[in-house]
Structure 1
Amino acid sequence: MTQAHSHTSHRDSGHHHGHGPQAGRHQDGDGDGGQAEILELDAEVLAGHLASITARLPLKAGPRRIVDLGCGTGAGTFALLERFPEAHVTAVDASAGHLQLLREKACARGVADRVRTVQADLDADDWPDLGTPDLVWASASMHHMARPDRALRGVHRLLAPGGLFAVVELDGFPRFLPADAPEGRPGLEERVHRATDGFHAEHVPHRGADWGPMLTAAGFAVEDERTVAVDIAGDRGGTVGRYAHGTLRRIRGAVGETLAPEDLAALDALLDLDGEHSILRRDDLGVRTERTVWAARRP
């Protein structure tokens, strides 16, 4: 859970991707509020891609009972509610703050009667009662599990026979800058991302895992695996700039000490909101990443 990636939770140098968010414990230097901001921007920027993923799930019928594991502030929850208008969602996360924000959004959208929130750490030995869902959704949350094999078995027990488990993972942090940026330190973003490798190897060892074999070992039948490219251009009213700033700021907090001094100075110039080189002043930003989706059925 959140992340959270967020995956941003995303966790992932304090960030959660996409979406949602994370299912274990926090490593979030900015607290829930900072992570929630990233999750909200992530949801706004990647909403279209998330909708396309929910539309292509290999479902035999519209699910009525859904569990969103590591729901964060609700990107997946609300995408699923929109896609399946007869469904009710149990949204599960470790963060009370994220769940409160999700409840407020559900009320504002008029779907509070279709959402139940549960605060839980899914790395704990015993899970709370989450019902018997037809669909379990886990976006950017499974790689945060300390014992993913145990968590997968927990999902298998949870699902109704014939139910579907959808695991969605981002291929690392999104990229935002052109390869030749910034002036004077071209390729900075790739070097910053490489600096996160050691951090992730220690703190998020399951990031980038192939979930297919693990799902099979847990008793699932994998019915679909596909990778969806995300390539979004344009500033979208400044949203992409804020998303890039929040993401790079959180990465800097985790790995800043490992960067070359010149790279750290260039990164700080991008993150200086009042500076002439601020990333918010750029008109050449985009969002580039990939999402991989595994759809597995409990026989």
Structure 2
Amino acid sequence: MAHDHHKPAGHGHGHGHGHQTDIDWAEMGPVLESQAELLAPAYREAMAWLAEETPEPGLIVDAGSGPGVVACLFAEEFPGARVTAVDGSGPLLERARARAARLGVDGRFSTVTGELPEALDELEFPADLLWASRSLHHLGDQRAALAAFVERLAPGGTLALLEGGLPARYLPRDIGIGRPGLQSRLNAAEEEWFSRMRAELPGAVAEPEDWPALLTSAGLKPTRTRTFLLDLPAPADEAARDYAAAYFTRLRDGLGDVLDADDRATVDRLLDRADPESLYQRADLFVLDAYTVYTAVRPR
């Protein structure tokens, strides 16, 4: 599942989920890294906000770290902390360790390979700050998974849960080809896909997405909620164009059977580098995305 929102046929910042064993993570690694790098401004803003509540964590755990871009950002933003990246993909964690070495934070950086939430049992110490970015919704029983997260949290420690937000936008409502409102229809199809994905997870339990209530039920005290904006205005640079193209490619590959012929043709044109209407040539392409983070503290 993509780090972005509900993206089919892809994955993102939450990894290590057994139902996606057909994905070649070694091949996906560079793409996931470049996407997370594009989002670094929003992540850094979120970390500065988290530092207000947890100014000097001893151990930060990234539960579902992928290739470690965000875990390494934590190491940079919290120079006194040790950081552990937890993920089910060995190849992605290899990239995380290599990134930490390049950035000179490898002395405070470690990894744990395994499926969530069980992999958290491998932690040597409880976490002062546990970050879970869109990894929870890949676990069938989210309430039980949260309880497992809490068990690995130190008394007084903070759980930061990135879930929800708003669907990303890349194009105006009317783009001059196909029917206006393409992105709204794609978003609706994504929501249907996400519901099916959740229902098919092992041990799936239907749960209202009231994150503060779920955090409370896990024995935590919810503290704050804030949404962080990624705003890359038009005309987009090459990195933003590649990010948008990856999004539309995943939708075309994952939702193609539910899109009508007109929308499929429009998406194909958007992805055709030679087409003057493509994402690679359009002057109106932008990236606008919103990420919501919920924090809660384990009572001492």
Normalised by the size of structure 1, how large is the TM-score? 0.88
Q: In the alignment, what sits opposite 1:15?
A: 10
Q: In the alignment, what sits opposite 2:138?
A: 144
RMSD over aligned Cα atoms: 2.4
- Kept after mapping to 2: 8 A contact 1:23/1:70: yes
Q: CA deviation at 1:40?
A: 2.1
- Answer yes or no: is 1:215 the counterpart of 2:215: yes
Q: In the alignment, what sits opposite 1:290?
A: 290
Q: CA deviation at 1:100?
A: 1.1
Q: CA deviation at 1:110?
A: 1.4
Q: SS in structure 2 opposite 1:160?
A: strand
Amino acid at match of 1:186: P
- Answer yes or no: is 1:6 the counterpart of 2:3: yes
Name the count of aligned residue pairs. Answer: 292
Counterparts in 2 of 1:24-39, with a 5 A limit?
Answer: 24-25=17-18, 27=20, 31-33=24-26, 35-39=28-32
Q: In the alignment, what sits opposite 2:113?
A: 119
Q: Deviations over 1:130-155 (max 9, x none)?
A: 52111111112111111211111111
- Kept after mapping to 2: 8 A contact 1:13/1:250: yes
Q: Deviations over 1:232-274 (max 9, x none)?
A: 2145531111000011101111110110101101111111233
Q: CA deviation at 1:225?
A: 1.3
Counterparts in 2 of 1:166-185, with a 5 A limit?
Answer: 166-171=160-165, 173-185=167-179
- Distance in 2 (CA, whole Å) between partners of 1:137 and 1:168 is 8
- Kept after mapping to 2: 8 A contact 1:270/1:277: yes
Match among 93, 104, 107 for residue 98 of structure 2: 104
Q: In the alignment, what sits opposite 1:132?
A: 126
Q: SS in structure 2 opposite 1:185?
A: coil
Moved over 4 A (4+): 123-126, 205-208
Q: SS in structure 2 opposite 1:22?
A: coil
Q: CA deviation at 1:33?
A: 4.6
Q: CA deviation at 1:6?
A: 1.6
Match among 163, 167, 171 for residue 157 of structure 2: 163
Q: SS in structure 1 opposite 2:280?
A: helix
Q: In the alignment, what sits opposite 1:87?
A: 81
Match among 46, 63, 66 for residue 69 of structure 1: 63
When residues 60 and 228 of structure 1 are mapped into structure 2, their CA distance, relative to the original with a 3 A threshold, is closer
Q: SS in structure 2 opposite 1:226?
A: strand
Q: SS in structure 1 opposite 2:67?
A: coil
When residues 210 and 12 of structure 1 are mapped into structure 2, their CA distance, relative to the original with a 3 A threshold, is farther
Amino acid at match of 1:267: V
- Kept after mapping to 2: 8 A contact 1:5/1:22: no
Q: Taking every aligned residue pair, what percent have the same amino acid on both sides?
A: 33
Q: CA deviation at 1:5?
A: 3.5
- Distance in 2 (CA, whole Å) between partners of 1:190 and 1:46 is 22
- Distance in 2 (CA, whole Å) between partners of 1:235 and 1:41 is 19
- Kept after mapping to 1: 8 A contact 2:86/2:120: no
Normalised by the size of structure 2, how large is the TM-score? 0.88
- Distance in 1 (CA, whole Å) between partners of 2:93 and 2:176 is 38
When residues 62 and 54 of structure 1 are mapped into structure 2, their CA distance, relative to the original with a 3 A threshold, is same
When residues 132 and 240 of structure 1 are mapped into structure 2, their CA distance, relative to the original with a 3 A threshold, is same
Q: CA deviation at 1:21?
A: 2.4
Q: Deviations over 1:149-181 (max 9, x none)?
A: 111111111111101111112535422111111
- Distance in 2 (CA, whole Å) between partners of 1:60 and 1:102 is 24
Of residues 181-190 and 48-57 in structure 1, the stretch that sits farther from structure 2 once superposed is 181-190
- Distance in 1 (CA, whole Å) between partners of 2:164 and 2:100 is 25
Amino acid at match of 1:163: G
- Distance in 1 (CA, whole Å) between partners of 2:186 and 2:208 is 18
